[in-house]
Amino acid sequence: MSEMDAPIRAGFIGLGAMGLPMAQRLARHRCLTHVWNRTGTIAAQLAQDCGITAAVTPAELAAHVEQILICVSRDADVLTVVDAILPALKPGTVVIDFSTIGCSTAALIGERIRQRGGDFLDIPVSGGVEGARTGQLVMMAGGCSATLARVRPLLDHLGTRLVHFGDNGQGQAAKAVNQVMAAGINQAVTEALALGARAGLDMDPLIDLLAGGAAGNWFLQKRGKTMIQGQYPPGFKLALHHKDLTLCETLATALDITIPLASQTRQDYQRLMDRGFADEDISALYRLKQPTENP
């Protein structure tokens, strides 16, 4: 068997709302051999369902695979995972992080992994839980282009578009642009629909109409009708977008610019989090646009 035909031995760490469906897709394509999750029962169930191994520790996973995929929530979580896998990291191993973290954190992790003979790609994703389930994520990559080409067959099972933006950290910079834009879209859509509802319009046909015109967008199409019904099932938790926008503000400060709309959105999310809505979808911003919902 040639190296091109050799089976992929990959391990996945972090089986949350995004990570679990991503890992399931890889398992279905016979690319995944090991998983690990902080809540072990989730990894055990996935392993049983897919006929793969639930590692006892991240180090055990690292010792048995050539590609390690990480999808967790925060910089500190990624650093904890990296600390755990480094002692067992085999030379030539590629570590791919799908988490949204700081640009400087991604650059630091890349240096640490290369010192152990491996390589690192920061590839934050966009597309939400739906995109993770259907393999239609959009991926923004930072790291070595040759390494990215090496793992491309694995990534093709997860997304429809992947763009390489440069060295470690540049994938995260691209994701920051995405998150700032998402904040603006959220503000515009929720504000506009609150206006329509207040004006007494029939909202379902209005949303259908707008979705097909110049104002149409993914967020309106996927979240418009649920938000006007007061339903906010998490596709992307507002607490996570709050975290991401904090990272965006840090980057903007380092670049000596301001991002006032994103900053306002982060503050609005904080108001909702303080009221107990941290685990709702970002479309819960609609709560603040309705006069009866405002505190």
For the chain, how many structural domains are there in total? 2
Determine which one of 175, 237, 243, 289 is catalytic. 175
Looking at the structure, do residues 184 and 275 belong to the same domain, yes or no?
yes
As given in the structure block, the two tokens for residue 214 are: 């110049």
Q: Using the 3D structure, point to which of 167, 201, 233 is the last residue of a domain.
A: 167
Q: In which domain, by residue range, is 34 found?
A: 10-167
Q: What is the CATH number of the domain that holds 162?
A: 3.40.50.720
CB-based burial of residue 253 (10 Å sphere; 0-12 exposed, 13-18 middle, 19+ buried)?
exposed
Looking at the structure, do residues 157 and 34 belong to the same domain, yes or no?
yes
Looking at the structure, do residues 276 and 211 belong to the same domain, yes or no?
yes
Active site residue 289: no
Q: Tens-digit pLDDT profile for the chain (295 aa)? A: 334 445 689 999 999 999 999 999 999 999 999 999 999 999 999 999 999 999 999 999 999 999 999 999 999 999 999 999 999 999 999 999 999 999 999 999 999 999 999 999 999 999 989 999 999 999 999 999 999 999 999 999 999 999 999 999 999 999 999 999 999 999 999 999 999 999 999 999 999 999 999 999 999 999 999 999 999 999 899 999 999 999 999 999 999 999 999 999 999 999 999 999 999 999 999 999 987 655 4
As given in the structure block, the two tokens for residue 115 are: 């010192």
Inside any domain, residue 4: no
CA distance 198 to 142: 45
Helices (H), the chain: 19-28, 40-50, 58-64, 75-85, 103-115, 128-134, 145-155, 170-198, 203-211, 218-228, 238-254, 260-274, 286-289
Inside any domain, residue 5: no
Looking at the structure, do residues 185 and 119 belong to the same domain, yes or no?
no
Inside any domain, residue 148: yes
Looking at the structure, do residues 141 and 217 belong to the same domain, yes or no?
no
As given in the structure block, the two tokens for residue 293 are: 């919902």
Q: Using the 3D structure, point to which of 112, 146, 167 is the last residue of a domain.
A: 167
In this prediction the pTM is 0.92
